[in-house]
Amino acid sequence: CLKDGAGDVAFINPLAVPAPEKASYELLCKDGTRASIDSYKTCHLARVPA
């Protein structure tokens, strides 16, 4: 829904975002900051168990 402009936030697998589209997304960190999608190991709101 983000691609279609119908949403503001989505829970996604950051590894599934194609490289040319990464600049279009950013992560919301627990401390209220934002980071590039490549920072998923240190910036995330939740973690899905393996």
The tens digit of pLDDT for each residue in 15-28 reads: 899 999 999 889 99
List the chain domain ranges. Answer: 1-50
What are the residues facing 36 on neighbouring strands? Answer: 26
Quote the pLDDT of residue 8: 84
CA distance 42 to 29: 8
Which residue is it, tokens 């190991």?
Answer: 41
Quote the pLDDT of residue 30: 92
Low-confidence stretches of the chain (pLDDT beneath 50): none
The CB density around residue 36, as the number of other CB atoms within 10 Å, is 13
What are the residues facing 34 on neighbouring strands? Answer: 28
